[in-house]
Structure 1
Amino acid sequence: MALSSQLHRTLKPFRALSSSIAHRLSFASTAQPQSNDPSSSNAFVFSSPNDDAGAEKNDDVIFLKANRKSSSSSSSVSDGHSVSMPTSFMTGSIIGKRFYKEVTTRVADDGNGWSVMLDYRTLKTPTKRPLKLPTLGLAKAVAAEWEYQQKDGIRPFTMPLMRLACTALERVPVTRPKIIENLMKKFNQDLVFCRAPEDHTWTNEVLDRQVEKIDPLLDWVKSEFGVKPILYTSIFGGKQDDRLVKAVEDLLKKTDDCELAAIDAMAAAGHSLIIAIAIFRGKLQIEEALELIRLEEDLQVERWGLVEGGHDVDIADLRVEISSAAVFLGLSRRV
């Protein structure tokens, strides 16, 4: 699929439901504390180089840096040189008027990677390194998110690729062991390992759908890793074969930073590391993954109906989370 077409499909749910998501997420975000961790991608500040001591005045750049304000401080515009972002790139807040006219890409200064330019400013990371992206395709996709921003304000929640890029460049390199550890802690409770009970008429339909849709994925896991997954019906999970656990962990350790960021994002959104790895390995496409993640809930919707302002927003949010991570994964790979 062409880049422009895939990117359009990724961002389309945001455009269609932006006002609904913005209201819901901006309300929820008011109770979220801001992070003081410079490696965190949850809070950022735009600033000019003259805001920082020792910065070269002739180096026209725009920084993304950790917000040092306390959780009780206002996140509104502070002065003419900086504007604080909300606690997350996924909030529906507007952080200030668009301050640039043109978005372009160029080869990074060291010739290794690509940079995004907002007019004459080079986009930088929280630790003030250039936001250097591995491929031109990914740089253009991130640039498209900035180009899409409206004149009345920048909406970070419509920039999932930018968020993933910051995560891959800043958080993953310094917390890689912890990310892998957290993924493996949840592995035994993976969504695809849990089965509906066989001895109840209320769950027969769910079980039949799981056998039809999920069993082919489990067969792939066995052929890919040489170990058959263990299924369970307990909500507390089960215990997978140590050989399968080790094989999955070894795979995660071999990923690069962009790959691990994408896998982590998909596993968190879909409650399934197996589904994330299947997308990573090319076994599942986006629509197939969404169908498996929402299998039980979609059955409930078929039976009882869809709740407007609830199910539809959840579906759009999940679609963007999975799609953006899958697009990010594909675009970050050097062909």
Structure 2
Amino acid sequence: MLRNLVRLCNPTSYAVLKRQEGQARRSHFLGNIKAYSTAASERRKFYQDVSIAQGEDGLFEINLDRKKLKTPGGKLFTVPNEAMAIAVATEWDAQKDTLKFYSMHLTTLCNTALDNPTHRDNDQIIRGALKFLETDTVCYRVEDPPEMVELQKNEWDPVLDWIEKRYNVAIGSSYNILGPQIPNKTKDTFRQHLGSYNFWALTGLEFVITQLKSVVLAFGLIDRHLTVEQAVLLSRLEEEYQIQRWGNVEWAHDYDMYELRARTAAGALFVHLSSESSTVKRKLLQD
């Protein structure tokens, strides 16, 4: 990945301007998530042991010592399967003297799915996710310098080719600020595909899309065509150009990169775990 990375300047382009629209949408969505994450950003740890238990309704709960975990909205914190419960419990068990809620992405996504603070249903989430297709990162291209044009072609075109063949759709790319004309058939196909996910999985998938600013890259990641590292690098292609050309504050760049990878990985894991109906024990017996 990024094998053709070269030193380039940072011209203002239609692609950059258009993606700023997608960035604004992403900031709005993430602002809602962050504002509704667990209480404060940090808090002194108040428990010793973390465990999970299955309730009479079949849902799994998280226990901090003898207290049941609750959502910010006051609901009992329950998840649909044992695998999700173990993943969330691991987040809480990994905390040291101070609870760093901003790093507990699975917990935050569960809270969002349980309390649904924006009061949206599946159709509304799907419509919101598909809006990112109109400003998809990989669809907007620069016209110069030539090296950057070539890099975008080499790195983004294979992903576009893959998703068009995978879902039998047409997307394309554009140098125009208006972007490519996405056919209604393509939107309908993606809408139908997203409709196969449950509410929890849609919550996670929208989160991934907002991280990468791309429906194409999010689908590539969820379908395991791309790794987390590949999807993140492809979403940051232009930023990496500028860093190679102008340099960067090393620790800041590394921190941003690791944080984006962590959020993206957590979102992808959340999607897969939300679609898992078997318990861990049952799967072990099957294996």
Q: What TM-score do the two structures reach when normalised by structure 2?
A: 0.77
Q: Once the 2 structures are TM-superposed, how far is the Cα of residue 173 of structure 1 from its aligned partner?
A: 9.4
- Please tell me the residue identity of whatever aligns with 2:230: E
Q: CA RMSD in A?
A: 2.5
Q: Is the alpha carbon distance of 1:235 and 1:313 closer, same or farther for their aligned partners in structure 2, counting shifts above 3 Å?
A: farther
Q: Is the alpha carbon distance of 1:125 and 1:94 closer, same or farther for their aligned partners in structure 2, counting shifts above 3 Å?
A: closer
Structure-2 separation of matches of 1:253 and 1:297: 33
Structure-1 separation of matches of 2:153 and 2:230: 15
- Please tell me the residue identity of whatever aligns with 1:117: N
Choose from 303, 317, 325 the match for 2:245. Answer: 303
Point out the more displaced range, 156-165 or 181-190: 181-190
Structure-2 separation of matches of 1:183 and 1:272: 9
Identity %: 28
Q: Does 1:138 align with 2:50?
A: no
State the partner residue of 2:228.
286
Q: Once the 2 structures are TM-superposed, how far is the Cα of residue 235 of structure 1 from its aligned partner?
A: 4.0
Name the one with the larger helix percent.
2
Q: Once the 2 structures are TM-superposed, how far is the Cα of residue 143 of structure 1 from its aligned partner?
A: 0.9
SS at match of 1:186: helix
Q: What TM-score do the two structures reach when normalised by structure 1?
A: 0.67
Q: Is the alpha carbon distance of 1:306 and 1:41 closer, same or farther for their aligned partners in structure 2, counting shifts above 3 Å?
A: closer
Structure-2 separation of matches of 1:250 and 1:278: 17
Q: Does 1:102 align with 2:49?
A: yes
Q: Once the 2 structures are TM-superposed, how far is the Cα of residue 247 of structure 1 from its aligned partner?
A: 1.0
State the partner residue of 1:42.
35
Point out the more displaced range, 274-283 or 169-178: 169-178
| 1:6-25 Cα deviation digits (max 9, x unpaired) | xxxxxxxxxxxxxxxxxxxx
SS at match of 1:150: coil
Point out the more displaced range, 263-272 or 204-213: 204-213
Q: Once the 2 structures are TM-superposed, how far is the Cα of residue 260 of structure 1 from its aligned partner?
A: 0.7
8 Å Cα contact 1:219/1:228 also seen in 2: no
Q: Once the 2 structures are TM-superposed, how far is the Cα of residue 300 of structure 1 from its aligned partner?
A: 2.0
Structure 1: runs of 5 or more not aligned = 1-31, 45-63, 65-84, 87-92
Structure 2: runs of 5 or more not aligned = 1-27, 279-287
- Please tell me the residue identity of whatever aligns with 1:323: A
Q: Is the alpha carbon distance of 1:330 and 1:181 closer, same or farther for their aligned partners in structure 2, counting shifts above 3 Å?
A: closer
8 Å Cα contact 2:130/2:187 also seen in 1: yes
8 Å Cα contact 1:41/1:171 also seen in 2: no
Q: Does 1:160 align with 2:105?
A: yes
Q: Once the 2 structures are TM-superposed, how far is the Cα of residue 42 of structure 1 from its aligned partner?
A: 2.7
Structure-1 separation of matches of 2:34 and 2:108: 7
State the partner residue of 2:21.
none
SS at match of 1:115: strand
Structure-1 separation of matches of 2:66 and 2:116: 27
Query: Aligned pairs, how many?
Result: 247
State the partner residue of 2:188.
246
Structure-2 separation of matches of 1:41 and 1:211: 35
8 Å Cα contact 2:139/2:172 also seen in 1: yes
SS at match of 2:243: helix
Q: Once the 2 structures are TM-superposed, how far is the Cα of residue 184 of structure 1 from its aligned partner?
A: 2.1
Point out the more displaced range, 98-107 or 298-307: 298-307
SS at match of 2:46: coil
State the partner residue of 1:180.
126
State the partner residue of 1:81.
none
Q: Is the alpha carbon distance of 1:306 and 1:217 closer, same or farther for their aligned partners in structure 2, counting shifts above 3 Å?
A: same
Alignment of 1:56-71 (within 5 A): none
Structure-2 separation of matches of 1:254 and 1:332: 12
Q: Once the 2 structures are TM-superposed, how far is the Cα of residue 191 of structure 1 from its aligned partner?
A: 0.7
State the partner residue of 2:6.
none
Choose 1 or 2 for highest CA Rg.
Answer: 1
Alignment of 1:1-335 (within 5 A): 42-43=35-36, 85-86=39-40, 93-95=41-43, 97-110=44-57, 112-151=58-97, 153-171=98-116, 174-176=119-121, 177-197=123-143, 200=144, 202=145, 204-334=146-276, 335=278
Q: Once the 2 structures are TM-superposed, how far is the Cα of residue 157 of structure 1 from its aligned partner?
A: 0.9
Q: Is the alpha carbon distance of 1:134 and 1:163 closer, same or farther for their aligned partners in structure 2, counting shifts above 3 Å?
A: same
SS at match of 1:162: helix
